[in-house]
Amino acid sequence: MGTISAPRVLVGGRLSGPAAVVVEDGRIVRVDETVPPPGPDHLALPHGILTPGLVDLQVNGAFGADFVAASPDEWRTVAERLASTGVTAFLPTFITGDLDTLVDALTRAHATRAALAAQRAARVLGVHLEGPFLSPAKAGTHPKEYLREPEPALVSRLLDRDEVRDVLALVTLAPELPGGLDAVRRFTAAGIKVSLGHSNATAAEIGQAADAGATLVTHLFNAMRGLGHREPGVVGAALTDERLTPGLIADLHHVVPAVCSLVMRIAGSRTALVTDAMAAAGMPPGRYRLGDVDVTLTEGDVPRNPDGTIAGSALTLDQAVRNLAGLGHDLAGVVGSASTVPADALGREDLGRIAPGAWADLVWWDDDLTVRRTWVGGETAYEADQA
């Protein structure tokens, strides 16, 4: 058993303190407003903020590796290095590709996730499959030749294989496609969350998908029918339907600052910050892979495919927090959008919060919102002074 105290601690959606977090067997036992005296089992952080670990629902890759093709060692390296950005749990994300290739990658991911479970690194919660059941009209950088309608037989290829079904945590699809609503029902019945994205759906069609069990919207504003004053589209539905958790890429490029602020003011309490990071994240300018696509990162820009389409991001989740805090948004709410909201979207009440019973996945931020130290299950996964 041990205690970590800090001048400010994010508990119950607000910053308070000083306070102490008591940890036993990797989980939080209690939060005390009375800070104990110094001792061998008490780590007293001298300054800064203690928050829950961050949870990223959309990470295609980072630090030079793309998850679809990455080796187990590369997965481990990414998971270890994500802890330096405050991320303690994440969904490796596979974009559209040949379905046989994706099924094979999902099968490998099942084994890799199990092998990484004991590592001092960010938790692999499961895979986010972004495609291939997406609208050709809103493909973005996804290769159109691999897009498919969610026919029952294709959905069955994902659900009838135990390893694949077990590792799939989230599927992004376009609900307006033929068979789309049935696919939503089948995935959700199997315990897999469904996000609506790369979609040209109307607001009414998005509502039908929510009725069928969909609960998230993938990278709001990007690759979807926009907000109209007579047809609200995917964007309007995401901003107004309380059943939906919209994902926001707050790199200030995918969505510009004024619109990020608009989202946070309208739907901030249910908005999940995501990175949509690809292999270029944490790397210098150069050429990288996103699934089957060659992507170029240039200085001061976002990753782009050869025709100039934005292709993922080079964002890290701690930078997204700094970006929104820098726009003047309440820090407690911003960190909640990067921790509690995405954890809740996955139904994980044991993650993304400082509360009794939750895993002791924690981040110590300096006063300038630089990550100083990260714990996963009460064990140090990153320490700035040791990096």
Average pLDDT over residues 170-178: 98
Q: Coil, strand, or helix at residue 304? A: strand
Of the chain, the percentage scoring pLDDT greater than 70 comes to 99
- 356 domain residue, yes or no: no
Average pLDDT over residues 380-386: 91
Q: DSSP letter string over 23-74?
A: EETTEEEEEESSPPPPBTTEEE--SSEEEEPEEEEEE-EETTEETTT--HHH
8 Å CB contact between 246 and 218: no
Confidence band of 387 (pLDDT split at 50, 70, 90): low
Q: DSSP letter string over 207-220?
A: HHHHHHT--EESST
Domain identity same for 33 and 58: no
Domain identity same for 45 and 103: no
Active site residues: 276
Q: Is the pLDDT of residue 356 over 70?
A: yes
8 Å CB contact between 197 and 137: no
Instruction: Write the CATH number for 378.
Output: 2.30.40.10
Task: Locate 134 and state its tokens.
Answer: 């997406």
Of the chain, the percentage scoring pLDDT greater than 90 comes to 87
Average pLDDT over residues 38-47: 91
pLDDT at 1: 66
Kindly list the distances between the CA atom of residue 254 and the CA atoms of 251, 277, 301, in Å, as whole numbers in the listed order. 6, 12, 10
Which of 314, 309, 359, 316 minimizes the C-alpha distance to 25? 359
Alpha carbon of residue 61 to chain centroid: 12
Domain identity same for 93 and 214: yes
Q: Is the pLDDT of residue 77 over 90?
A: yes
Domain count, the chain: 2
Sign of the Cα torsion 82, 86, 89, 95 reads negative
Q: What is the pTM of this model?
A: 0.96
Domain identity same for 71 and 189: yes
Kindly list the distances between the CA atom of residue 23 and the CA atoms of 6, 126, 360, in Å, as whole numbers in the listed order. 14, 26, 7
Confidence band of 37 (pLDDT split at 50, 70, 90): confident
- 359 domain residue, yes or no: no
Average pLDDT over residues 112-123: 94
8 Å CB contact between 110 and 169: no
Instruction: Write the CATH number for 259.
Output: 3.20.20.140
Kindly list the distances between the CA atom of residue 48 and the CA atoms of 204, 320, 364, 369, 380, in Å, as whole numbers in the listed order. 45, 18, 7, 8, 17
Q: Is the pLDDT of residue 340 over 80?
A: yes
367-374, long-range: CB within 8 Å, 24+ apart, which pairs? Answer: 367/47, 367/48, 367/49, 369/318, 369/321, 369/322, 369/325, 369/331, 370/318, 371/84, 371/85, 371/86, 371/318, 372/48, 374/53, 374/83, 374/84, 374/86, 374/88
Domain identity same for 63 and 172: yes
Domain identity same for 38 and 86: no
Tens-digit pLDDT profile for residues 202-230: 999 999 999 999 999 999 999 999 999 99
Domain identity same for 318 and 268: yes
Tens-digit pLDDT profile for residues 287-327: 888 877 888 888 888 889 888 888 788 999 999 999 999 99
Domain identity same for 33 and 91: no
- 215 domain residue, yes or no: yes
- 361 domain residue, yes or no: no
Q: Where are the alpha helices (DSSP H) in 58-201?
A: 72-82, 99-116, 152-159, 162-167, 180-189
8 Å CB contact between 355 and 52: no
Domain identity same for 121 and 237: yes
Q: Strand 87-95 vs strand 65-66: parallel, antiparallel, or unpaired?
A: unpaired
Residue with tokens 């670990």: 53
Longest dimension (CA), the chain: 64
Which helix (H) or strand (E) segment holds residue 373: the answer is strand 371-376
Which helix (H) or strand (E) segment holds residue 317: the answer is helix 317-326
Q: Is the pLDDT of residue 147 over 80?
A: yes
Residue with tokens 């029902």: 185
366 residue type, one letter? D
Task: Locate 177 and state its tokens.
Answer: 């496609």
- 358 domain residue, yes or no: no
Domain range holding 44? 2-49+367-386
- 360 domain residue, yes or no: no
- 229 domain residue, yes or no: yes
The rounded distance, in Å, linking the Cα atoms of 281 and 290 is: 11
